[in-house]
Amino acid sequence: LDYNLQRYGLDFKIISKDLNEIDAVVKQLVQHYESLDTRVILISEYGITNVNKPIHLNRILRKEGYIAIREERGLELLDAGQSDAFAVADHQIAHVYCKNDKDIGKVATLIKAVEGVEKVLYGEDLKDYHIDHDRCGDIVVVADKDSWFTYYFWLDDAKAPDYARMVDIHKKPGYDPVEMMTDPKDKLVMAKVVGKLIKKKMGFRTVMDIIPIDATLIKGSHGRITEDVEDYPIFISNHSFGKKNQTISAIQVRDLIEDHLLN
């Protein structure tokens, strides 16, 4: 369900099948645990909404001289340790890390001017949002309702690293939803996949480079607080506590779970 919502957005002609299948699984789980007199919570982290505008923060930082690149075999890799600033993207949120504190304000000002950016948080803002922990970026960026952030840092697709065209979550400096896609323009893509799998079975080294570098293929994302309450994440319990149909903040969830377990 999560993947198809990112592929297709809120297209219920496509995702209704996924919704019904998952609903049936959740029903089985809830009925099973209720038969054991168990208190049940259903909780989701986020609601996915439609997007149509990818934002390449690392490309913007690179053009301003903040990103360091090293080249291997003619392909480019982001050198985070040598970069003065770089972004780690995750859907509609990005953490920007700055080597020098003096650059935080300048980088924040640069990013504020980017079309599709809704919020740029740093300094005291991070405390206000309860995210000022050790691993938080020096700057946290939030997209607007139509936008999301890629990890892309290259300016020429011919120099994109080999992992850009593969499912390789540990090498990419940020989440890449395009990993769920194959190139819709390539009519022979499935034949190529089969061919690569046969080579692998025969013992040949094979690169599964079948992922397109086209962020516009993504139609759904999440991370920001949505415009419509209907798209909010949910917290549902079969145990009566607190007010019904109320809006809660993320930092209340921990206490609600403790109350659910102990009281």
What is the reported pLDDT for 194?
66
Q: Write b or e for each residue in 144-177: b if 16 or more Cβ atoms lie within 10 A of its Cβ, otherwise e.
A: bbebbbbbbbbeeeeebbebbbbeeeeebbbbbb
Which candidate, 160, 168, 132, places its Cα nearest to that of 75? 160
Here the CATH number for the domain that contains residue 86 is 3.30.1360.110
Tens of pLDDT, residue by residue, the chain (263 residues): 889 999 999 999 999 999 999 999 999 999 999 999 998 999 998 999 999 999 999 999 999 999 999 999 999 999 999 999 999 999 999 999 999 999 999 999 999 999 999 999 999 999 999 999 999 999 999 999 999 999 999 999 999 999 998 888 888 999 999 998 877 777 766 666 666 677 777 777 766 667 889 999 999 999 999 999 999 999 998 887 667 788 888 899 999 899 888 88
Q: Which amino acid is located at 152 in the chain?
A: Y
Q: Judge if 113 and 6 occupy the same domain.
A: no
Q: Judge if 22 and 60 occupy the same domain.
A: no
Cα–Cα distance between 160 and 256 in angstroms, integer?
Answer: 45
Q: Judge if 110 and 86 occupy the same domain.
A: yes
- C-alpha neighbours within 13 Å on the C-beta side of residue 23: 6
Q: How far is CA 179 from CA 6, 86, 227, 257, in A?
A: 11, 21, 27, 34
Q: Judge if 124 and 58 occupy the same domain.
A: yes
Specify if 204 maps to a domain. Answer: no
Specify if 65 maps to a domain. Answer: yes
Specify if 144 maps to a domain. Answer: yes
Residues in the chain: 263
Helix (H, G, I), strand (E, B) or coil at 98: strand
Cα–Cα distance between 174 and 86 in angstroms, integer?
Answer: 11
The answer, as to whether pTM is greater than 0.85, is yes
Q: Judge if 58 and 174 occupy the same domain.
A: yes
Q: Judge if 104 and 164 occupy the same domain.
A: yes
Q: Identify the domain containing residue 253 by its residue range.
A: 2-43+233-262
What is the reported pLDDT for 170?
87
Q: Total domain count for the chain?
A: 2
Q: Judge if 54 and 175 occupy the same domain.
A: yes
Q: Judge if 167 and 250 occupy the same domain.
A: no
Q: Which amino acid is located at 54 in the chain?
A: P
